Amino acid sequence: MGAYRAALAALLVVAACGGSPFKVVDPIDPEVPVDPEDPVPATDNDNAVKDMRSFQYDGTTLSIDMAGVSSSGQFGTFKRKKEMDIPKHGSHPRYLAYEFQETAMTRSYLAYVAENERQTLLALASADGGQFNEHNGGGGWVRLTGYTRPDIASSPSPTPGPEAGTFSYYGAYAGVFVPGPADPNGPPRPDPVQPQEPLSVRGIIQVNAQFTAAGTGDPEVVEGGITRRRLFDRDGNRVTKITLLKSDGTTREIKTDRLTDLALRETGISDNGTFLGDVEYLGAPDGVIGGYDGAFGGIGASDVAGVIWVNPIPGERDIYEYGTFNLPRCDLAGASPICSPRAP
């Protein structure tokens, strides 16, 4: 992964440099409801490459245990950054922005958190902007209630017909982009040692899933894509180019006015409603640039949430993005207005 050490590590997903990079761990029994009034537990994952070791979130306060030089205590407590919130679609909640920096000398973090309307799933992503040739990044999801798979009939599907096996999920996407500019509020010193601020990515994501009739043995699969991806600074202003400092002291500019669309390649859905797959640039199949991981939640897979980790700029292996999504099913309450469920 180039000069940076990058890993995705949370309650349920990790990514590491070298070897077999992905391991999925689900500490929650999908059939056992979890009290949504309780904070998300800070559960260490002993099998993880530990950038984000664990997190706590009670609906207001976000605390993350991030590896590396991040916070004096085990957890760094993030502060709300409302001007960087990602707008909602329909009644689907917006993605809430949080930031953390212990001092002006140390790493600057940005995080996005989303809990859906039915309070079935929580998802988040976070990263710092980089300092001393490294950054720490991660993300994860957790089920807040039990999950049941859809009850799919074996009879022929009408066309058009209600969503009853093939489901769509649509809404906003939030990403954290690394690296960003040097912290303008830090003490004066040469730019190469200043902590850099991560940037925000706003986009639209669609996920399609195919559930099959029980007992048939037919595969169940999920796929999707992320488009209309735009980059913003920490004050909510659009960023159309970034300047990178090279090792010889010179700089070069990269245009970011239109970030490349992404494809979440088709992958299987496990018996407990989780999935893990590859991410590619849309229109460039068989060129893996990262991965995605997530889960369906609620009664009849009413919602889906997950995280992605990618190199978002073609040809640039030292630029990273950690993203998250939390979406309602298109035919249920909370769906985006653009959803067009098939007529019954």
pLDDT in tens, 259-294: 999 999 999 999 899 999 999 999 999 999 999 999
Measured between alpha carbons, how far is 197 from 316 in angstroms, rounded to an integer?
18
Residue 46 pLDDT grade (very low, low, confident, very high; cuts 50, 70, 90):
very low
Please indicate whether residue 255 or residue 104 has the higher confidence score (pLDDT).
255
Q: What pLDDT is attached to residue 90?
A: 56
Residue 157 pLDDT grade (very low, low, confident, very high; cuts 50, 70, 90):
low
Please indicate whether residue 179 or residue 183 has the higher confidence score (pLDDT).
179
Q: What pLDDT is attached to residue 59?
A: 84
Measured between alpha carbons, how far is 133 from 234 in angstroms, rounded to an integer?
21
On the question of pLDDT at 12 being above 50, the answer is no
Enter the tokens of residue 148. 């049941």
Residue 180 pLDDT grade (very low, low, confident, very high; cuts 50, 70, 90):
confident
Please indicate whether residue 203 or residue 250 has the higher confidence score (pLDDT).
203
Q: How many residues does the chain have?
A: 344
Q: What pLDDT is attached to residue 31?
A: 32
Enter the tokens of residue 318. 């030292």
Measured between alpha carbons, how far is 201 from 179 in angstroms, rounded to an integer?
12
Please indicate whether residue 35 or residue 29 has the higher confidence score (pLDDT).
35
Q: What pLDDT is attached to residue 143?
A: 92
On the question of pLDDT at 296 being above 80, the answer is yes
On the question of pLDDT at 118 being above 80, the answer is yes
